[in-house]
Amino acid sequence: MTDLVIRNVRPLGKAAIDIAIAEGRIAAIGPNLPANGAAEEDGGGALLLPGLIEAHTHLDKTLLGMDWVENRVASSIRSKIDNEREMKGVLGLDPALQSARQVVMSIARGTTAIRSHVDIDTTYGLAGFEGVAATRARYADVMDLQIVAFPQSGMMIRKGTIELMDEALRQGADVVGGLDPCAIDFDPKGHLDVVFDLAVKHGKPIDIHLHEPGELGVFTFGLILERTRVHGLAGKVTVSHAFALGMNDYLRIGQLLDDIAAAGVMLMSTGPAGVPVPPLIRGLDAGIAFCSGTDGMRDLWNPYGNADMLQRAQILADRNYLSRDVEIERALDVCTFGGAKVMDLPDYGLEIGDFADLVVVEGRTLTEAVVTLPERKLVLKRGRIVARDGEALVEAA
Ligand SMILES: Nc1ccnc(=O)[nH]1
């Protein structure tokens, strides 16, 4: 039985058709579909996209909805980590409430799946994980939420963190995180052996923050690729940020991108200004799966971000100096199909049988939508309308 028919939408910019939805999935695609008494929505000739995928953020620590906090921290990663760990307690940040606020903002912007890194450290223990896990349960029918157990303050340099990581994974964290094995943890072999051992023990994928620049990051990449091959984890390992791949040595980086593709390691880039970034088109052409994300937003690291993955596609395209429509569409693809691949989301897409995780936006072409960032007219999760005209239909408080 059909539950909903969305009329006159253009899937990925193609010719206008109707979409029928039944039991949370796309049941039919074609012109003038019968409603058979089901609800109907008029798409008005707008674009139809699969749900946007937020594949890298930090839901546990956004300050959304709280008082403004003046950022006075030095720009080094070490300073940000230490400042944040201290200030979270001072501010009384509540990971369950804060993550709920960002999830609702994401829904309003058309995101239907989120991968969030969540801090695990010896100061707060599993509090962040428990808060975001509560949010994951609360919004389970409107958002796919993956939790990465993330040793933000380091693992080898803070005794007791490994045990907490293990416990978070035992309690249902979905992904094993890691962070700068050399630059923050001062023990690349120790750090990566623990990360890969935890992944094998719990049967979970890996997503490692790698801010390490240049030679240092290239060195760490070698260790990650080696372990990915040895453990047979192709398609299960993501390296986030990967700034080293922006290094100005095209022969070397070209070879490394090919090695990353061959190992089945995936990449996440937010397209930040001011730091080198992995070359998107070269990486995609090498066959690497890319995803993107908002990263930390309105938090103690930086004041920016609005959880809009359409805007993220624009930032990613702009940062990679893309101006041709076909290339800008590839940046959008990273924020839809790329994220779904990295997160291993089943039945994602716009084919019959896929989950009806959908976004309707104005735009003559996909590139125009990336450029103009229209309000999301309709957002559906598993066939249910969860946002309309830019407003989420679920609440945070
Ligand atoms: N970009 C980042 C945000 C939060 N934590 C990190 O380690 N990195």
238-296: pLDDT as tens digits: 999 999 999 999 999 999 999 999 999 999 999 999 999 999 999 999 999 999 999 99
Per-residue pLDDT at 40 = 98
Whether residue 174 sits in one domain with residue 125: yes
Whether residue 324 sits in one domain with residue 303: yes
Looking at the chain, the whole-number percentage of residues with pLDDT higher than 70 is 100
Cβ neighbours around 137 below 10 Å, total: 10
Ligand 1 pocket residue status of 150, Cβ below 6 Å: no
In a domain? residue 319: yes
Q: pLDDT at residue 104 above 90?
A: yes
In a domain? residue 41: yes
Whether residue 364 sits in one domain with residue 335: no
Looking at the chain, the whole-number percentage of residues with pLDDT higher than 90 is 99
Whether residue 155 sits in one domain with residue 31: no
Residue for token pair 């058309």: 110
How many structural domains compose the chain?
2
User: pLDDT tens digit string along 327-338?
Assistant: 999 999 999 999
Per-residue pLDDT at 41 = 98
Whole-number Å distance, alpha carbon 7 to ligand 1 midpoint, is 42
Ligand 1 pocket residue status of 179, Cβ below 6 Å: yes
User: pLDDT tens digit string along 175-230?
Assistant: 999 999 999 999 999 999 999 999 999 999 999 999 999 999 999 999 999 999 99
The mean per-residue pLDDT over the stretch 105-121 comes to 98
Per-residue pLDDT at 379 = 98
Distance between CA atoms of 93 and 299, rounded to whole angstroms? 11
Whether residue 180 sits in one domain with residue 42: no
Are the beta carbons of 207 and 165 closer than 8 angstroms?
no
Domain-terminating residue out of 321, 342, 363:
342
The mean per-residue pLDDT over the stretch 18-44 comes to 97
Q: pLDDT at residue 397 above 80?
A: no
380: CATH: 2.30.40.10
The mean per-residue pLDDT over the stretch 18-40 comes to 97
User: pLDDT tens digit string along 368-378?
Assistant: 999 999 999 99
Whole-number Å distance, alpha carbon 384 to ligand 1 midpoint, is 33
Please say whether the dihedral angle defined by the alpha carbons of residues 7, 8, 11 and 12, taken in this order, is positive or negative. Answer: negative
Whole-number Å distance, alpha carbon 363 to ligand 1 midpoint, is 33
In a domain? residue 275: yes
Per-residue pLDDT at 33 = 97
How many CA atoms lie within 13 Å of 57's alpha carbon, on the beta-carbon side? Answer: 33
Residue 292, both tokens: 């993107």
Ligand 1 atom nearest to CA at 270:
1
Residue nearest to atom 8 of ligand 1 (CA): 209
Whether residue 366 sits in one domain with residue 281: no
Whether residue 324 sits in one domain with residue 353: no
Please say whether the dihedral angle defined by the alpha carbons of residues 146, 147, 152 and 156, taken in this order, is positive or negative. Answer: negative
Through-space distance between the first and last CA atoms of the chain, rounded to whole angstroms = 35
In a domain? residue 393: no
Residue 326: strand, helix, or coil: helix
Per-residue pLDDT at 380 = 98
Whether residue 93 sits in one domain with residue 154: yes
Residue nearest to atom 4 of ligand 1 (CA): 296
Domain-terminating residue out of 325, 342, 359:
342
Domain span at residue 85 reads 52-342
In a domain? residue 397: no
User: pLDDT tens digit string along 132-151?
Assistant: 999 999 999 999 999 999 99
Whole-number Å distance, alpha carbon 80 to ligand 1 midpoint, is 9
136: CATH: 3.20.20.140
Q: Over the chain, what is the mean pLDDT?
A: 98
Distance between CA atoms of 269 and 277, rounded to whole angstroms? 7
Whether residue 315 sits in one domain with residue 255: yes
Q: How remote is the C-alpha of 350 from its chain's centroid?
A: 20
